[in-house]
Structure 1
Amino acid sequence: MDADTREALAQRIELATPDEQISGIFCENTFLAIREHLGREQADRVRASTWPLRPWVGVQRYPVADLLRMVGAAADLIEKQGELSYAQALEELGGWVTRITQGTPFSRAAHLAVGNDPHERLALSQSSARVLVTYGERKYEREGPTHARLLWKRELMGPSFLLGAYTAIAQGIPGVHITVTLGPCRSPGMNFQLHCSW
């Protein structure tokens, strides 16, 4: 699988269980990213058509399938604007969500604690996902002084969204240029790797 697709995202929604959940703060940040791309009116319509009638509470968790429906609908509309493919729209949303999340006091404090070493920052980002999600397996592998591999199993957000997220994380590390590329990815995009080099 080279790029995420509508069909792959639909399969991930079907495979997601009610126990596989994601934090309310991540849901809210995703909605803010959608609003950046589509504007308030369209974003509100996407939310109304895909999200159950309940508000987000940052400290609560919600079924990731609900968030995936909202992200998929937003990616459809972004693609219809004609500038990005569906996979690129998912990637762009992943980057925006990450930039919003990195601006929180908790994220800034965590970055100060580990400093600007790329290995430390990337490994922290991979391990801190447990704060946000109840599903999946994540592993960070240091492959050399300037290379790393990030591995996911049962990651429901998918490869394009995470490629965008980790590209944004890499861009946020000062003093180094990190290239993030998608490695092996099995359909429907739940088991995949990202490679980072600098």
Structure 2
Amino acid sequence: MDADTREALEQRIQLATPEDQVSGLFCENAYLAIREMLGRDLADSVRASTWPLRPWASFQRYPVAELLRMMGTAADLAEKQGLMSYPQALEEIGGWVTRITQGTPFSRAAHLAVGNEPHERLALSQASARVLVTYGERKYEREGPTHSRLLYKRELMGPSFLLGAYVVIAQSIPGVHITVTLGPCLEPGMNFQLHCSW
């Protein structure tokens, strides 16, 4: 699998259990990302058609399947409008969610604590997912002084979203140019790797 597809995202929605949840902060940031991509009116329309109309509470948890439906609908609209392909739209949402999340006081404090060493920052980002989601296994592997690998098992957000997120994380580390690429990825995009080099 080279890029995310509608079919892969639909399969991940079907495989998600009620215990697979994401924080309200993550949901709100995804909505804001969709608004950046599509504009407020379309983003509101996407939300109204895919999500129960209730406010998100930052530290409450919500079913990841609902978030995936919202993101999939937004990616469909972006493609239909000729803005970008379906996987590019998911990647774009991942990037925006990460930009917004990095602006939070918690993220800024964590970055100050570990400094700008690429391995430390990338490993911290991988570990901090536990604050936002209840599912999946994530592992950071240092492959050399300037190479690392991020391994995902049962990652419901999928490869495009995470690729977009880690491109933004890499860009935020000053003094180094980090390339992030998608490695082996098995259908339906729940088990995959990202490779980072600088």
Question: TM class by shorter-chain length?
Answer: over 0.9
TM-score (norm 1): 0.99
Aligned to 1:62: 62
State the SS of the aligned residue for 1:112.
helix
Aligned counterparts, 1:181-192, within 5 A:
181-192=181-192
Aligned counterparts, 1:72-91, within 5 A:
72-91=72-91
Unaligned runs of 5+ in 1: none
Question: What per-residue deviation string (whole Å, max 9, x for no partner) do you get for residues 112-147 of structure 1?
Answer: 000000000000000010000000000000000000
TM-score (norm 2): 0.99
> Would you say how many aligned residue pairs link Structure 1 and Structure 2?
198
Measure how far apart 1:52 and its partner are: 1.6
Measure how far apart 1:84 and its partner are: 1.2
> Is 2:171 aligned against 1:171?
yes
- Paired amino acid for 1:142: R
Q: Percent identity?
A: 84
Aligned counterparts, 1:155-170, within 5 A:
155-170=155-170
State the SS of the aligned residue for 1:95.
helix
Unaligned runs of 5+ in 2: none
Aligned to 1:33: 33
- Paired amino acid for 1:47: R
Aligned to 2:125: 125
Question: What per-residue deviation string (whole Å, max 9, x for no partner) do you get for residues 8-56 of structure 1?
Answer: 0000000000100000000000000000111111100100000023210
Measure how far apart 1:83 and its partner are: 3.3
State the SS of the aligned residue for 1:129.
helix
Moved segments of 4+, more than 2 Å: none
> Is 2:4 aligned against 1:9?
no
